[in-house]
Chain A
Amino acid sequence: MGLILPKHFLSRRQLLQLSGFSGANLFLGGCGSSLFSDTVGQLVEPLNQRIEELLLTQKPVPEYPVSAIEPDKLLINTFDFAPEIDPTTFRLTIDGEVSRPLQLSMTDIQKLPLTSMVIRHVCVEGWAAIVQWGGVRLRDLVALVQPKSNVRYAYFKSADGYYESWDIASALHPQTLMAYKKNGQPLSVDYGAPLRLASPVKLGYKQSKWVTQIKLVSTLLPAKGYWEDQGYEWFAGL
């Protein structure tokens, strides 16, 4: 989850340090190409998203055997800091356009059926890791709050200020979990304890850690997600 910072920031500074090159040209060059790539994204992303929506089915993605787990490959990315959350006082709020908004403790959540899956976690940076996640299906949690029929999106708020939004089809996918276990062990703080999103159908930055609130809504707000609002694609389906 999370990503590297905008690349031209760092490399521009490094280049300036190395060459003593006049900064203005590089600055304008970097900015210009970045602005233009936003336009390219806005032009083509609707088509790409349409195809990603067509490819998405509710059929489970084939899983890997436990022996295929790659414990060292799952890198830790955060946009800011890793919040320490007391699991005994932690509450997950599920609300929005629903008939029965709920607040659940970790004990409540762990009483629900546990689903375990070994899937490939793919980061937008290009790396991937085969991970076992254990947790409760998001669709089971959604069923508890009885969403209105017009619900089309799920918003996720995290304790570190990270925020995400998903299309409802991906959120209800049978392998989209609110996970509290990783590779058979309780989830650690760095990986999103006590509760995080995990799914084989989305890129890593969609899979929020330290989730405290799930809001089911009918319209997409202008704030779509931490990285999306900086220029990354919203659907990010795999």
Chain B
Amino acid sequence: MTSPLSSHRQVRRVPTQTFWVKIFHWINIISLILMITSGLQIYNANPVLGGREGWQFPDLFLLGGWLAGGRHWHFAAMWLYSLNLLGYGLYVFATRRWQRRFASSADLQALQKSPNLKRKNLAWHRLVYTAIIPILLLAILSGLAMFKPAQLHWLAALFGNWQTLRTIHFLSVPLVLLFTVAHSLLALKVGSIRLIQSMFL
């Protein structure tokens, strides 16, 4: 009964995202689904792990119907995926977003020293979504190296032999899936459902 009205009017900051960031996030999700499902279709033609006798992914996760169809989807969606990422990169630099929105040394310090659990979770969240950027770029570079190994031989050579190159490209699938789980859980922890809504709606 002593609680004053003002405590109910306490200003709670509602998380917001800019229009462009929401667009990038949506296109990234859609293009990654297309890239992964068509990529697994290609994988099945000659499994990276085990070759012709290797385990194959079930039809449920595949796109394209057969190898040729999987390739058509993969080499169409690659444009959507990489141009979207390029657009995001330009946006991040033009708006100087990279100075504020990505993991920094302050986050690393918080992880080591901060007694504040909320601050630690935020640091993890920023660290995880920052770390996915190089993984997304590595998927493009290793993909290009396999797509044009003769004309981009210098790029293919960076990855060592063919099996290493294929394995690195394929690893982007489990890494992206793992990231999706960690990113969703951390986002929920840091900003609850309101943060999720701010990115999707």
Contacts and interface: CB of A to CB of B under 8 A. Distances in A.
A7 B45 contact: yes
Interface residues of A, number: 46
B35 interface: no
A34 B59 contact: no
Contact of B67 (A3, A31, A40, A122): A3
Interface of A: 3-4, 6-8, 11-12, 15, 26, 30-31, 33-34, 37-38, 40-41, 43-45, 47-48, 52, 55-57, 61-62, 75, 120, 122-128, 200-201, 227, 230-233, 237-238
Nearest to A63: B153
B151 interface: yes
Contact of B69 (A3, A33, A200): A33
B72 interface: yes
B68 A230 contact: yes
Contact of A231 (B43, B68, B152): B68
A8 B45 CA distance: 11
Given A37-B73, A124-B71, A201 B45 contact: no
B46 A7 contact: no
Given A123-B46, A126-B48, A8 B65 contact: yes
Contacts of B150: 61, 120, 200-201, 237-238
Interface residues of B, number: 33
Contact of A238 (B70, B75, B149): B149
A44 B75 contact: yes
A132 B68 CA distance: 28
B45 A34 contact: no
A26 B58 CA distance: 13
B148 interface: yes
A62 B65 CA distance: 36
B153 A61 contact: yes
Contacts of B55: none
B50 to A, nearest CB: 12
B79 interface: yes
B115 to A, nearest CB: 51
24 contacts: A3-B67, A8-B65, A34-B69, A37-B64, A37-B69, A41-B69, A41-B71, A43-B76, A44-B72, A45-B72, A55-B148, A120-B149, A122-B149, A123-B46, A124-B71, A126-B42, A126-B46, A126-B166, A231-B68, A231-B72, A232-B68, A232-B71, A233-B72, A238-B150
